[in-house]
Amino acid sequence: MKRHAHIVFLALMACGYPWASTSAQSPQRPNIILVFLDNFGWGEPGFNGGGIIRGAATPNMDRLASEGLCLKNFNVEVQCTPSRSAIMTGRYAIRSGNGTVPLGEGVYGLVQWEVTMAEMLSEAGYATAMYGKWHLGRTPGRFPTDQGFDEWFGVPNSTDESTYSSLPGFAESGLSETFVMDGKKGSVPEKVRPYRLDYRPLIDRELTNRALSFIEKNAEAETPFFIYLPYTATHFPTRPHPDFAGKSGKGEWADLLMQIDSYLGELMAALKKAGVDENTLVIFTADNGPEALSPGETSLTVETAMHGSAGPWRASLFTGYEGALRVPFAARWPAAIKAGGVSDEIVHAMDLYPTLAALAGGKVPQDRVIDGIDMSEFFLGKKENSGRDGFIVYMGKDVFGVKWRNWKLHFKEQTGWNGVLQVYTMPRCYNLLTDPQEVDNVFFPHTWVAKAALPQLEEHVASLKAHPPIPTGQKDPYVPPAALEE
């Protein structure tokens, strides 16, 4: 059995107890649903100024935000795999060996030594399920059902693989198709069907159906449950379900907004019907900012390409700009989170791990560095400050910058996922309040920002030296070379 406790950097190394206690306990531990969209920009939902100006109203997203806590400065890593690693482990993705989206057919993903959010909640007595895109391993021992989930239905990798069989040259490549998979804890997931363009518009309907059944089953059994719902719909190729195709009259992307919002509404209605609405924490967020495709960059139809909206922030995924880092975030828990909360405090995806542990009575590991911060009191309105001043901005395995309060330092910049990389001998400095597009370098006269922002990078680098990252592609079993003392 894997062991758990809580660390922020190395502060608990001197702790002599086998477990570190969680902080603010909620009145009653909640059921948890984590809706995690794929490549969904900050500016898409109505609660961030999108919705109707993106082609379709988003009443259920907006209701979730208005009846709970809406974070305007929720940050993630800038690629799919790193963000999913960070949220599942509470650690920078560089630590788990998942700092980049995997290419090729080799082994990748989370080693068994990592303790996922699902494992933590499972050991706390939760029924756990995942429906959707994993992107943290595609081989036995690396599937969601190997990492704490009681059941999983979805795809191991990314949705662009649904296009492979329709593209010229793939049939002769010798590569295997991606399959939709269905699995239970303790057994190898089964291949249900090839993941092709014919199933691309349909999969999120099935993911929703399974989530609805899981809610009903566990509510009836009075078992606390955790549903991780990483939808696929907003990742290329854009293909709405037939029930929503053409429904908005504003194009495929607007159709998808209607679809996502409708599915979210179904989940909330199911909670109410099952009598667990008041004590269920529903989190709505995304893995990174929007895609950067244009019609000239895809061999499929013009309609399948989309830019997405990062709102006032610059750029897209695969960059170090705010458009990649900031994503929509709303959390609703009627029994404990006051309605109407809005905050610009910095929160990072990896903070959800220790925060949910505190709220659910779970424990996080003591034998490794945990970069996430327990924000349970902040979420519950007991504190105005999140406790996080900033974080390290990675693009892949490279440090691109440091974010500190309303400032950003950039050491490297990339204009797009296929853009030109610029490396600076002197960092560029941006004031995010006055310059959300990050174009006006004010390093002079604001050299003081570097003095304030860089200590967190120094601490981070020191921790990586003391506890080296897991190598990318590391096979199991893995034993860390410098585990923290118990």
List, in sequence order, every residue forming a beta bridge with 52; answer none if it has no partner: none
pLDDT of residue 17: 26
pLDDT of residue 303: 39
Rounded Cα distance between 372 and 367, Å, is: 15
135 is catalytic: yes
pLDDT of residue 6: 36
pLDDT of residue 104: 81
pLDDT in tens, the chain (486 residues): 443 333 333 333 333 322 333 444 445 899 999 999 999 999 999 999 999 999 999 999 999 999 999 999 999 999 999 999 999 999 999 999 999 999 888 899 999 999 999 999 999 999 999 999 999 999 999 999 999 999 999 999 999 999 999 999 999 999 999 999 999 999 999 999 999 999 999 999 999 999 999 999 999 999 999 999 999 999 999 899 999 999 999 999 999 999 999 999 999 999 999 999 999 999 999 999 999 755 444 444 433 344 689 999 999 999 999 999 999 999 999 999 999 999 999 999 999 999 999 999 999 999 999 999 999 999 999 999 999 999 999 999 999 999 999 999 999 998 766 678 999 999 999 999 999 999 999 999 999 999 999 999 999 999 999 999 999 999 999 999 855 444
> Phi/psi class of residue 220: alpha, beta or left (left: φ > 0; alpha: ψ in -120 to 50)?
alpha
pLDDT of residue 15: 31
Hey, what CATH topology would domain 391-466 get? Arylsulfatase, C-terminal domain (3.30.1120)
Contact 386, 375 (CB under 8 A): yes
Q: 31-388 architecture in CATH?
A: 3-Layer(aba) Sandwich (3.40)
Whose tokens are 């239970």? That residue is 184
Phi first, then psi: give them for residue 164, nearest 5 degrees. Answer: -55, -50
Domain ranges of the chain: 31-388, 391-466
Contact 72, 345 (CB under 8 A): no
Topology match between the domains 31-388 and 391-466: no
- For strands 407-414 and 421-431, give the pairing: antiparallel
pLDDT of residue 415: 72
Q: Which of the following is catalytic: 4, 6, 80, 429?
A: 80
Q: Which of the following is catalytic: 6, 135, 348, 410?
A: 135
Contact 95, 472 (CB under 8 A): no
Return all residues near 465 (Cβ < 8 A) that are at least 6 apart.
Answer: none
Rounded Cα distance between 344 and 443, Å, is: 23
Which long-range CB contacts under 8 A does 7-12 form with residues at least 24 apart? Answer: 7/364, 7/365, 7/366, 7/368, 7/369, 7/370, 7/484, 8/354, 8/370, 8/371, 8/372, 8/373, 8/374, 9/369, 9/371, 9/459, 9/463, 10/369, 10/463, 10/466, 10/484, 12/366, 12/484
Torsion angle, alpha carbons of 4, 8, 13, 15, to 10 = -70
80 is catalytic: yes
Rounded Cα distance between 100 and 394, Å, is: 10
- Give the closest residue to 179 by CA, choosing from 199, 204, 201: 199
Phi first, then psi: give them for residue 229, nearest 5 degrees. Answer: -120, 75
In 315-454 the beta strands, taken as DSSP E runs, fall at 330-332, 341-343, 347-348, 390-395, 398-404, 407-414, 421-431
Tell me which H or E stretch contains 207: helix 203-221
Torsion angle, alpha carbons of 261, 341, 93, 456, to 10 = 160
